[in-house]
Amino acid sequence: MTRIEQNKQIVNAAFDHAEKGNLEGFLKALSQDFKWTTTGSTGVSGTYDVQGLINEYFPKITASFESMPVIVPDKIIADENHVIRLGHGEGGVAKNGLEYNNIYCFVIEVENEKIKSITEYCDTALVEKAELGQYQISEN
């Protein structure tokens, strides 16, 4: 298996874990110095380390949805250290009732068989309309 194929496999496995709600499986794929960046100036935009992802980003996202979208991969492109995963959401409904089926471009850097960074690009106008990150995180 080539390095490119291996990196695609690492990324696909991590995203599969995330889609199935297996946070532990997703986190195992990440490097210790991992960074997640969501572009734009929305309520969820910013750069998060692993703890920030767990304690801030994921709770903001899940608190903002009645029904989480499933992100369906449309195309996966890779070179030596990067995997680009293009996709679209299906079945998402925001807390404010807006149908939320965004388009996504994830630029993923893989180093030493671990995901070092993910940069997420999406339709930020839709993020703002859906008021993602604007809902209170439950203490339970």
pTM score of the predicted model: 0.91
User: Per-residue pLDDT tens for 8-45?
Assistant: 999 999 999 999 989 999 999 999 999 999 999 998 99
Question: In the chain, what are the domains?
Answer: 3-129 (3.10.450.50)
* Residue 121: pLDDT over 90: yes
| Local confidence band at 132 (pLDDT 50, 70, 90 cut-offs) | confident
User: Per-residue pLDDT tens for 58-74?
Assistant: 999 989 999 999 999 99
Once rounded to an integer, what is the mean pLDDT over residues 106-122? 98
What one-character-per-residue DSSP string does the chain give? --HHHHHHHHHHHHHHHHHTT-HHHHHHTEEEEEEEEE-SSSTT-EEE-HHHIIIIIHHHHHHTEEEPPEEEEEEEEE-SSEEEEEEEEES-EETTS-B---EEEEEEEEETTEEEEEEEEE-HHHHHHTTTT-SPPP--
Say how far apart CA 123 and CA 137 lie, in whole Å.
23
